[in-house]
Amino acid sequence: MNKYAVLVAGGSGSRMGSSLPKQFLHLQGKPILIHTLSAFKEAFEDIHILLVLPEAYIDYTREILEQNNFIHPVEFVIGGETRFHSVQNGLKQITGEGIVFVHDAVRCMITPTLIRRCFEQAVERGSAIPVIPMKDSVRALDGKEQHHAVDRASLCLVQTPQTFRSAVLLPAFECDYQVSFTDEATVVEASGNQVYLITGEDTNIKITSPVDMLIAEAYLDKRNS
């Protein structure tokens, strides 16, 4: 079965306090992006990788891949105004039937094991949305001064790769953008399809701030020891 990975790398690096987009920052001597790409390549040697990023960084990214000896075909796609539009642009390059992974390129701690598990469930059930339990207490804000506690047992944190059969995902994205579209699962649900959860990984963090870099470094140290 065909396998497609749509990797969204549109971050600006502003929350990192860096002029360089965070997908290019280094963890243990390699750009974050290389860690992510390597995980998908290790999971499936035959995977089709579609890398969605700002047009201004396409040539720079080609250089990064060469410098790090990343030997695997990568198709570059120009990103859009929002994440939704960036994913939509990536999906437009897919024509055949198969399984599609949509993943945040800065979730560089993703493991081949989770990628394969998402694939297997998507084949069987049509989708696989990795989630992990909430660990902290949660409160909902009802107004400026009003709030109430929420049972954390009824909540979970959503990760990527959000994984679908192409026959489910591609038609769902043939729509106009809505503010409520916070991820691929919300788009698929809006199209009338149910999505199915799968247990994610605590280490599958999204790099958005300097403290995330420290956490990822610690995870990599433990993984490599």
How far apart are alpha carbons 5 and 50 in whole angstroms? 6
- Does CATH number 2.30.30.30 belong to domain 3-224? no
* Domain locations along the chain: 3-224
Q: Is 144 a residue whose pLDDT tops 80?
A: no
Burial of 145 (0-12, 13-18, 19+ CB in 10 A): exposed
- Entry pTM: 0.94
Residues of the chain with pLDDT > 90, as a percent, come to 91
Q: Per residue in 85-132, pLDDT tens?
A: 999 999 999 988 999 999 999 999 999 999 999 999 999 999 999 999
Residue 162: Cβ within 10 Å count: 27
Q: Concatenate the DSSP letters of all residues of 1-46 into one string.
A: --EEEEEE-----GGGT-SS-GGGSEETTEEHHHHHHHHHHHH-TT
- List, as one string, the DSSP characters of 79-131: --SSHHHHHHHHHTT--S-SEEEEEETT-TT--HHHHHHHHHHHHHHSEEEEE
DSSP one-letter code for 160: S
pLDDT digits (tens, 9 = 90+) for 7-61: 999 755 555 556 789 999 999 999 999 999 999 999 999 999 999 999 999 999 9
Average pLDDT over residues 140-165: 93
Q: Residue 223 is which amino acid?
A: R
